[in-house]
Structure 1
Amino acid sequence: MINPGIFLGIFVQLALLGTLDAVTGLGPLGWIAGAAYGVAVGGFLTYGLNRSTARSLGPADAVTLGRSGLVGCVTALVVNTAGRETVTMVVIASVALALDAVDGQVARRTGTASPLGARFDMEIDAYLILILSVVVAQSLGPWVLTIGAMRYVFVAASRLWPWLNSPLPPNMARKTVAAVQGIALVAVVSTILPLWAGFAVTLGALGLLTWSFGRDTWWLLERHAFAATPAEVA
């Protein structure tokens, strides 16, 4: 059975798409993509709740779910065959990025932080970066897709090397680099930067992301190697 909060989230997603349709005129593919995204998020959340000790979504999760609805609208705009509204896309993506700082504060202030909420927040961020990289790749080239795909390549690699699933220590640099990706991609999507500057900004963002993933992978590898080393016999 779908949790009432998740059901409400799907309803809000459809309502946001309806509002977007009234403003920009979504095509059929835009509606399908946005609605499918909302249903998929609801399904993954239901699966996560069933596997966790939580019985319902917390207040921070509600903020993330609202942010997810905005990301669904960005998805609809990206695949919309009736014409892209760049300004609308930039505004919605910017609000979604700004709200990323809100759900964490709500979780801490209400004492409702949870592994499910943290994973939900991270996956929404990763998907937004992926969909924005698809847009930027159309003007700068397919290499930009590396930014959006890196998180998913890491997840796929963890299937082969389970030690990549080990928890990482909290790190502000990692969070900052993740935030930079969204800001850089939105800036390029907005076309306020000349092409050469957009290229430089995106390349710099990719460099930071590669450094961040590389550093974390090296840390996990060292930790795995240390754990695998037999203890010396006295």
Structure 2
Amino acid sequence: MALNNTYEARLVQQEPAVGAGIQLLLLALLGSAIGMGPAGWLTGLAFAIATWAVLSRALHRSQLRSFGPANRVTLGRATLVGGVTALVADSFESSPPVTLLVALTAVALILDGVDGKVARRTGTSTALGARFDMEVDAFLILVLSVYVSTQLGPWVLLMGGMRYAFVAAARVAPWLNAPLPPSFARKTVAATQGVCLLLAGSELLPHVANLAVAMLALGSLLWSFGRDVLWLWRTSRTSRVIEEAPAREMLELVTQ
């Protein structure tokens, strides 16, 4: 049994390495197609190494016995996001291949709705899979916001940085780490961020229309984060009052 578990663990650990290999292949294809410069290559390689390292460590800690089909879909999305990241980095040195960038991003966004369905239908939903999916989404939004900010201004970076600012704030205010109730509105806002940024960066619409789309996306994201933070704050206050109530009652009995 121990040998079998060890064998399964090794198979699971091979998945990130396979993903890194596919990432390198994608970078090679992009490099030959557009003549990608050093910035694109270095950024793409850094993304591949970071994804392999972080995912391998997470798999080791979670001790999953199977990587699962849903995680493979998410890993495929991560590979596409790595390609988008390389193209965005390369765009600072040369004219970006907008059509190619839009195509890779569109496929990554479409697959975002696939991995969750695969996990539910196959009964392979895990906390690691949900976190993996969320981190890939967040990084894609960050990369797209960097790209669109070169066209519309640095304020667009607020969209990409908001989730990371929330995580940083949670280290200072632990009450922000409390679980949130399921929300269709939150999922809708999160899903539309990538679509809006893709539309704004595709150069299909006039500048004013792109500006309006990006501002609408940012406004909805601020509303969503603001609503969640307010709910967490109110919940933490209520919990604190409930926890302190017995102590106050005991103090009152003692002082009577």
Q: Which has the higher contact order (CA 8 A, sep 6+)?
A: 1
Shift in alpha-carbon separation, 1:45–1:148, aligned structure 2, 3 A: same
Identical aligned residues as a percent:
52
Q: What is the aligned counterpart of 1:58 among 40, 61, 68?
A: 68
1: CA distance, partners of 2:245 / 2:67: 44
Q: Secondary structure at the match of 1:169?
A: coil
- Aligned twin of 1:215: 227
Unaligned runs of 5+ in 2: 1-9, 251-256
Task: Tell me by how many angstroms 1:171 deviates.
Answer: 1.2
Does residue 142 (structure 1) correspond to residue 154 (structure 2)? The answer is yes
Aligned ranges 1:104-123 → 2 under 5 Å: 104-123=116-135
Q: What is the aligned counterpart of 1:34 among 44, 52, 71?
A: 44
Task: Tell me by how many angstroms 1:82 deviates.
Answer: 4.5
Paired letter, 1:83: S
1: CA distance, partners of 2:30 / 2:37: 11
- Aligned twin of 2:185: 173
**Preserved CA contact (<8 Å) 2:58 2:128:** yes
Does residue 225 (structure 1) correspond to residue 243 (structure 2)? The answer is no
- Aligned twin of 2:109: 97
TM-score (norm 2): 0.88
- Aligned twin of 1:72: 82
2: CA distance, partners of 1:16 / 1:148: 24
1: CA distance, partners of 2:199 / 2:170: 32
Q: Secondary structure at the match of 1:113?
A: coil
**Preserved CA contact (<8 Å) 1:49 1:56:** no
1: CA distance, partners of 2:179 / 2:108: 26
Task: Tell me by how many angstroms 1:100 deviates.
Answer: 0.1
2: CA distance, partners of 1:95 / 1:215: 30
2: CA distance, partners of 1:214 / 1:35: 36
Paired letter, 1:130: L
2: CA distance, partners of 1:83 / 1:228: 55
Does residue 25 (structure 1) correspond to residue 35 (structure 2)? The answer is yes
Residues 33-67 of structure 1 show CA distances to partners (whole Å, capped at 9, x for unaligned) of: 11110110111111211222424421101100000
Identify, as 1 or 2, the structure richer in helix: 2
**Preserved CA contact (<8 Å) 2:13 2:60:** no
Does residue 206 (structure 1) correspond to residue 218 (structure 2)? The answer is yes
Unaligned runs of 5+ in 1: none
Paired letter, 2:202: S
1: CA distance, partners of 2:245 / 2:56: 43
1: CA distance, partners of 2:104 / 2:157: 21
Structure whose CA Rg is larger: 2
The number of residue pairs the alignment matches comes to: 234
2: CA distance, partners of 1:51 / 1:162: 23
**Preserved CA contact (<8 Å) 1:25 1:82:** no
1: CA distance, partners of 2:182 / 2:22: 32
Task: Tell me by how many angstroms 1:23 deviates.
Answer: 1.6
Does residue 133 (structure 1) correspond to residue 145 (structure 2)? The answer is yes
Task: Tell me by how many angstroms 1:193 deviates.
Answer: 1.1
Task: Tell me by how many angstroms 1:223 deviates.
Answer: 1.2
2: CA distance, partners of 1:150 / 1:114: 25
2: CA distance, partners of 1:157 / 1:55: 34
Does residue 48 (structure 1) correspond to residue 58 (structure 2)? The answer is yes
